Amino acid sequence: MTLIQPLSEADLPAVAEIYAHYVMDSVATFDETPLDTEAWRLKAAAIAEVGLPFLVAKEGDRVLGFAYCGRYRPKPAYRHTVEDTIYLSPGATGRGLGRRLLAELISLASEAGARQMIAVIADGGDPASLKLHAAFGFAEAGRLKAVGFKHGRWIDTILYQLELA
């Protein structure tokens, strides 16, 4: 049985490994160098410090995916707007885990006082993230053309937005 639960210290190496796959083999993230466990520890601490959720999907001790939300932008007036992030282990896609993670993330972000959730989705040709967000009522808010360059090509990002309150 797969459980959705808060991130623990023991989950950090698996989070780093899952993310590294997307850094190296996809355009889902514009990072070009994987983050190590210590970088993830610092990121998780910063997210917890502002009262936002960082979740993992686990079967036993195995992390199958993770999701978190952080402040959309650092300026104070954005403090009620968050950006979501979701990544699944390549072998764990297509099982509804992204849906479960996003549902819990939306609920917890709303409880934490967020009013808007933004998804910044790289348009790399795979519509899975767009479909996932649309299923939860996110609406397209805009497109930024050719803002990322990775793996030898220019990539657009699509902004999706959900009103939480």
pTM value surpassing 0.85: yes
Please write down the HEC assignment for all residues of 5-53: EECCHHHHHHHHHHHHHHHHHCCCCCCCCCCCHHHHHHHHHHHHHCCCC
* Three-class DSSP category at 111: helix
Which pLDDT score is estimated for 129? 96
**DSSP character at residue 125:** S
Q: What is the pLDDT of residues 118-127, one digit of tens each?
A: 999 999 988 9
Interior angle at CA 69, CA 56 and CA 38, nearest 5: 65
Q: What is the pLDDT of residues 7-56, one digit of tens each?
A: 999 999 999 999 999 999 999 999 999 999 999 999 999 999 999 999 99
In percent, the amount of the chain with pLDDT more than 70 equals 100
The CATH number of domain 2-163 is 3.75.10.10: no
Which pLDDT score is estimated for 55? 98
- Mean pLDDT confidence for 94-111: 97
Which pLDDT score is estimated for 5? 98
CA distance 56 to 59: 10
